[in-house]
């Protein structure tokens, strides 16, 4: 069950490529409904933010 929740959160987070209130609300509800997996969800968010940041830096350097 834990891995399914984490994978669902990860894949939904990867779909967030613009400000989308419905998707952000869904991610919020998914996290709230699965508080017992909070440390794992936080790791998913941290990893995603690092990837987004690295992609941003790489794209800025390539210009």
Q: Nearest CA to 10 among 36, 48, 50, 53?
A: 48
User: Would you write out the chain's pLDDT as a tens digit for each of its 63 residues?
Assistant: 999 999 999 999 999 999 999 999 999 999 999 999 999 999 999 999 999 888 788 778 776
The predicted model scores a pTM of 0.84
Please state, in angstroms and rounded to a whole number, the distance separating the CA atoms of residues 7 and 12.
8
pLDDT for 12 equals 97
- CA dist 16 and 13 (Å) reads 5
């Amino acid at each position: 069950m834990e891995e399914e929740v984490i994978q669902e959160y990860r894949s939904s987070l990867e779909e967030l490529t613009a400000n989308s209130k419905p998707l952000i609300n869904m991610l919020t509800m998914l996290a709230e409904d699965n508080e017992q997996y909070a440390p794992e969800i936080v790791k998913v968010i941290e990893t995603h933010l690092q990837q987004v940041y690295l992609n941003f830096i790489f794209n800025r350097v390539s210009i």
